[in-house]
Amino acid sequence: MKIVLLGSGNVATHLAKALKSKGEEIVQVYSQNLDNASLLTQLIGAEAIADLNEVKQDADLYIISVKDDAIGTVAASLKKVNGLVVHTSGTTDIDVLASQVRKAGVFYPLQTFSKSKEVSFENIPLCIEASDSDQLAILSNLAHKISSQVYELDGEKRKVLHLAAVFACNFPNHLYALANKILNQNGLDFEIIRPLIAETADKVMANLPENVQTGPAVRDDENTLNKHLSMLNDMPELQNIYQTLSNSIKLMPK
């Protein structure tokens, strides 16, 4: 398949590398910023462009991996192509594409990507959706080439998954950052808490989280809860988060 990639951010970069490593041909990378496109094409050997009018019209697949609110604008430039046009967004409806292009789909990798860290696509869940079964088969075939976990999900389910991902990824990472803030203010290094973070995530690989909850809130240890809240007196924002999450833990069925 000849693939045009529209976007050069974290998702686009990691996806491009994974596709390239499986022998797929990425012919062009578009970015508003030509330097960003060039950075990526140097890695995967494609043409870098910064003008949507220069997009090749004869590719088999167009992967739009830009900010959600720019997907529609990019798709508008692909009205005449015959290839399949997909986006990689967790929250954007397929109709944003389907209303503009002939063949539309979604190719959503459920993972958190950073420029600085390599990830193996093998274990990344890929959520796919397409405007018809032929296109879905094409996407399924491509998805299985790079991942062992492929899920056919409609838009509603995909949006639920994206919401759950905020709770399972973005919020925990922020709580790690708040822990670091508390440590730093007291002359302690983040290093000391890394084994705990690793084990906490590892525990739920073979258990459900509600079955392995630990800490003062789940054991109704009011004494410790009150000590902790008073330690946060000069950090009211963290105190509020502590109270909110502890209350929520207490509400869980045991």
Of residues 39 through 68, those in contact with its own copies by CB under 8 A are 67-68
Q: Which stretch binds its own copies (CB under 8 A): 19-27, 43-51, 54-62, 246-254?
A: 246-254
The correct pick among 69, 95, 132, 134 for binding its own copies (CB under 8 A) is 69
Least gap, CB of 37 to its own copies (angstroms) = 20
Structure token digits, residue 33: 């910023």
What is the distance between the alpha carbons of residues 220 and 116, in angstroms, rounded to a whole number?
41
Site string for its own copies, 144-183 (x = CB under 8 A): -----x-x----xx-xxxxxxxxxxxxxxxxxxxxxx-xx
Site string for its own copies, 192-231 (x = CB under 8 A): xxxxxxxxxxxxxxxxxxx-xxxxxxxx-x-xx--xx--x
Least gap, CB of 186 to its own copies (angstroms) = 4
Least gap, CB of 180 to its own copies (angstroms) = 6
Structure token digits, residue 164: 């759950």
What is the distance between the alpha carbons of residues 162 and 223, in angstroms, rounded to a whole number?
37
Site string for its own copies, 109-148 (x = CB under 8 A): -xxxxx-xx-x---xxx-----------------------
Of residues 140 and 224, the one with the C-beta less far from its own copies: 224
Of residues 12 and 59, the one with the C-beta less far from its own copies: 12
Of residues 89 through 108, those in contact with its own copies by CB under 8 A are 91
Tell me the three-class secondary structure of the chain, residue by residue. CEEEEECCCHHHHHHHHHHHHCCCEEEEEECCCHHHHHHHHHHHCCEEECCHHHCCCCCCEEEECCCHHHHHHHHHCCCCCCCEEEECCCCCCCHHHHCCCCEEEEEEECCCCECCECCCHHHCCEEEEECCHHHHHHHHHHHHHHCCCEEECCHHHHHHHHHHHHHHHHHHHHHHHHHHHHHHHCCCCHHHHHHHHHHHHHHHHHCCHHHCCCCCCCCCCHHHHHHHHHHCCCCHHHHHHHHHHHHHHHHCCC
Of residues 59 and 74, the one with the C-beta less far from its own copies: 74
Q: Under the criterion CB under 8 A, does residue 239 sit at the interface with its own copies?
A: no
Size of the site for its own copies (CB under 8 A): 93
Least gap, CB of 122 to its own copies (angstroms) = 10
Of residues 14 through 33, those in contact with its own copies by CB under 8 A are none
Of residues 99 and 148, the one with the C-beta less far from its own copies: 148
